[in-house]
Amino acid sequence: MNARRHPGQRYPGQRAGLTKEQVIATANDVLADGGFGALTMRAVAERLAVAPNALYSHVANKTELVDEVLDATLRTIREPATDDVEAVLREIMAETLTALLRHPDLMPAFLARQGSRGPHARRLGDIMAAALERVGITGSDAVEARRVLIVYTIGFAAFAAGPPEGNPVPLDELQHNFASGLQWLLAGILAGRC
């Protein structure tokens, strides 16, 4: 005879109030503690004290989980409060670098996934595309300009996130180098506009 479940009663493996934000935060913790190779659905479920299948109502698989974790790092990046195209692009890339440097443990995942694909990444991409369009850079030229800026920024973050013993360049010097290189890139992109 099957026992009737009361409204609000949980099934085995469920956890009351488990949210997507908790799943992503816990995945981030697993990455911070064990690196990219340690991140599995089972490891996240164990930290949350739920069965792995409880995670699937929030993320479809490990790939989506990684994409969500990567995208969450971009959540704090705001739309620049200026119409100056160079300033918009510079501020977004500088804030992206800062966000990436706060999570050096995520660099292998950013490199493996070639960036983020979530809603925050798309929002920033749309802001960049709109800025480029204001100066006549559209279509494949705009896509290429954005890609170059993103690859530059992720590359710098990966270089800066390297092990301290293998990275003799101080962080403040690297950040200065990043700003100088970004200025050169933007000058070239904007000078070549249609």
pLDDT digits (tens, 9 = 90+) for 162-187: 766 666 778 888 899 999 999 999 99
Q: What are phi and psi of 83, to 5 degrees?
A: -100, -5
For residue 79, being part of any structural domain is answered with no
Across the range 56-84, mean pLDDT stands at 89
Q: What is the pLDDT of residue 193?
A: 62
Q: Are residues 136 and 164 in the same domain?
A: yes
116 in a domain, yes or no? yes
Q: Do 29 and 95 belong to one domain? A: no
Do 63 and 89 belong to one domain? no
| 31: pLDDT strictly greater than 60 | yes
Question: Is residue 90 very low, low, confident or very high in pLDDT (cuts 50, 70, 90)?
Answer: very high
The rounded mean pLDDT for the chain is 85
Q: Which of 3-7, 70-74, 120-124, 160-164 has the lowest mean pLDDT?
A: 3-7
pLDDT score recorded for residue 172:
87
The pLDDT score that the predictor gives to residue 164 is 62
- Tell me: do 95 and 42 sit in the same domain: no
43: domain range?
20-70
Judge whether 2 lies within some domain: no
pLDDT of residue 7: 45
- Please tell me the total count of domains within the chain: 2
> In this structure, are 65 and 92 located in the same domain?
no
Residue matched to tokens 């249609």: 194
Tell me, yes or no, whether 8 lies in a domain: no
For residues 121 and 170, state if they share a domain: yes
User: Tens digits of per-residue pLDDT, 97-153?
Assistant: 999 888 887 888 788 888 788 899 999 999 999 999 999 999 999 999 999 999 999
Give the end of a domain, one of 8, 37, 70. 70
Residue 14 lies inside a defined structural domain of this protein: no
Domain-terminating residue out of 70, 96, 130: 70
Nearest partner of 129 among 90, 160, 75, 85, judged by Cα: 85
The pTM (predicted TM-score) of the whole model is 0.78
From 160, 154, 149, 159, select the one nearest 182 (Cα to Cα).
149
What is the pLDDT at residue 166?
62
User: Tell me: the pLDDT tens digits for 11-30?
Assistant: 444 445 689 889 999 998 89
Q: Is residue 166 part of a domain?
A: yes
Q: Does the pLDDT value for residue 5 go beyond 50?
A: no
CATH number at residue 34: 1.10.10.60
Is the domain of 112 the same as that of 163? Answer: yes
In a domain, 4, yes or no: no
CB under 8 A, 24+ apart: contacts of 186-193 = 186/86, 186/89, 186/90, 186/149, 189/89, 189/137, 189/145, 189/148, 189/149, 190/85, 190/86, 190/135, 190/137, 193/132, 193/135, 193/136, 193/137, 193/141
Query: Are 96 and 66 in a shared domain?
Result: no
